[in-house]
Chains A and B, each alone.
Chain A
Amino acid sequence: MSDEHSSILVPEAIRKVMVSHARRCYPEEACGLLAGDADGRLTNAYPLTNVAHSPVNYVIDPAEHFGALRHAESKGWDLVGVFHSHTHSPAYPSATDVALAADPDWLYVLVGMERMDTLSVRGFRIRDHQITETTLSFDSHH
């Protein structure tokens, strides 16, 4: 997805999956993967298991990761990003997120839970240990 100079539309259904998963997993970090189509649109969010079961770390279940890959491919999509929650810190990549960033092309979405009434959702690219914010726009009509 080439979006360095534009925002990414996050359909409401996808935003809801990420936020709901973050609330459901609290106090542990929640995590999941994002699928997108060939036109760069986000098409699905997969809420997955954090096998670390930790409030400060996440590791996506490898089998569920594989299942999401197969599902996305069956729809003609690619896995294009990952989301996870920060239970007590801002929606900004941590040093661990940067160190472990798995794919320079992925969108990294953070759900910040510092304020439980208004969770913040922000997007980033992490390339060569550099963080660049990608503006997310939210569309309630999708």
Chain B
Amino acid sequence: MTHTIRLPTILRVHAGGEATVSARGGTVGEAFADLGKRYPGLVRQLLDPDGSVPVFVNVFLNDEDIRYLQGLNTPISAPSEIILLPSVAGG
């Protein structure tokens, strides 16, 4: 099951400049792990050392923020779109 992952501009440098990449997996975490096989630098940006999603990255699976689902354990039952949005913040 292959999913499409849309990357924000700031992360594309870690994926050869691509705006979208594909990954396989039955959960969001598995999709990220699959992504890490080809783009290890990208996944280092997407996951904290403890394996959680950092606060400055928002992950939407089929229009839902995975923080309000089951996080990285959120199951994906069909080919899906995962959109990564950077946190927009300042002072």
Contacts and interface: CB of A to CB of B under 8 A. Distances in A.
A66 B90 contact: no
Interface residues of B, number: 16
B52 interface: no
Interface residues of A, number: 28
A31 B88 contact: yes
Contacts of A96: 90-91
A22 to B, nearest CB: 14
A57 interface: yes
Nearest to A94: B91
Interface of A: 29, 31, 33, 52, 56-60, 62-63, 65-66, 69-70, 82, 84, 93-97, 100-105
Interface of B: 8-10, 56, 58, 60, 63, 65, 83, 85-91
